[in-house]
Amino acid sequence: MATDLVTPARAAWNQAPAWPHARHDEVHIWRAHVDLPPHRVFRLARVLSPDEARRANQLFFEADRRRFTVARGLLRTILGRYLRVSPAELHFCYGPQGKPALAPEYGEGRLHFSVSHSHRLALYAVAYDRQVGVDVEYMRPHLASREVAERFFAPAEVARLAMFPEALQGEAFFCCWTRKEAYLKARGDGLSLPLDEFYVSLTPGVEHVELHTPRDPAEAARWHIRALDPKPGYAAAVAVEGSGWRLCRWRWAPRGRRRARRREWEP
């Protein structure tokens, strides 16, 4: 299909609808900047639960506290828009490895989401009735070492990485990392799944990512992974359960003043 050849670099990130609808045949990716002016951070901090505020306060660096607050506050804001619920009122529950989910009172777990933040960017994936995992990494060249690859990647990935020209190896490293992480996050396993039990294709700029699960080929057929290109300098990917869906890429933006006044809780 022609769409298989569309590189993520060409995909546009459009203005999000004010009140999105989750649909079975769409997966929504929201992109947001987490370095916001103090008054916006303050408003987002007000929607966090006491536990979340405590977690933010435990972070050592001020920038990390601020970015966690914004990322979690925006998660609540975005999900609140789908559910028509005030962000501060949302409740989360957590899987055995820490994957957050909406509490069962919000449609018995049919609205799925995943969050990732790195440096100045946060990505949110939202899907209806299917598991999703998203990962974004700011590409810091010093992290993309052979030692790290050998520790975290499958042997097939390490071998493939070594075949890229040197100038592309850093980007291919982060493509590999984010594609693996997106899959792990969709499954919710964290690191409990041995990292060499599956491997992914790592070519930068190719949207459709191959997933191989040699011991259980049916597992690979259950998922689809797409590379995303949220901003220059970042690598990202989303893993989605099942087929028959299309991606919608949206930019998060605060709502206009007049509307915000109508709903005081909207940060």
What residue ranges bind ligand COA (CB under 6 A)?
68, 71-72, 97-100, 114-117, 133, 135, 152, 177, 180-181, 184-185, 188, 190-191, 195
Nearest to 89 by CA among 98, 101, 79: 79
Q: Which two tokens stand for residue 3?
A: 């769409």
Query: CB-based contacts of 109: which residues, under 8 Å, 6+ apart?
Result: 101, 102
What is the enclosing helix (H) or strand (E) of 83? helix 62-83
Q: How far is the CB of 123 from ligand COA (least distance, A)?
A: 8
Q: How far is the CB of 55 from ligand COA (least distance, A)?
A: 8
Q: How far is the CB of 262 from ligand COA (least distance, A)?
A: 29
CB closer to ligand COA out of 98 and 165: 98
Q: How far is the CB of 107 from ligand COA (least distance, A)?
A: 19
CB closer to ligand COA out of 98 and 232: 98
CB closer to ligand COA out of 54 and 261: 54
CB closer to ligand COA out of 168 and 195: 195
Question: CA-CA-CA-CA torsion for 173, 100, 87, 138, nearest 10 degrees?
Answer: -10
CB closer to ligand COA out of 242 and 260: 242
Q: How far is the CB of 219 from ligand COA (least distance, A)?
A: 17
Q: How far is the CB of 59 from ligand COA (least distance, A)?
A: 10
Q: How far is the CB of 188 from ligand COA (least distance, A)?
A: 4
CB closer to ligand COA out of 115 and 227: 115
Query: CB-based contacts of 191: which residues, under 8 Å, 6+ apart?
Result: 97, 184
Instruction: Return d(Cα 70, Cα 62) in angstroms, integer.
Output: 12
Look at the block and give the residue holding tokens 């499954």.
187
Helices and strands, counts by H and E, the chain:
8, 13
CB closer to ligand COA out of 71 and 220: 71
Distances (CA, A) of 22 to 30, 32, 37, 88, 150: 13, 19, 30, 20, 39
Look at the block and give the residue holding tokens 């209806």.
128
Instruction: Return d(Cα 237, Cα 226) in angstroms, integer.
Output: 6
Q: Do the strands 26-33 and 211-212 form a parallel or antiparallel pair, or are they unpaired?
A: unpaired
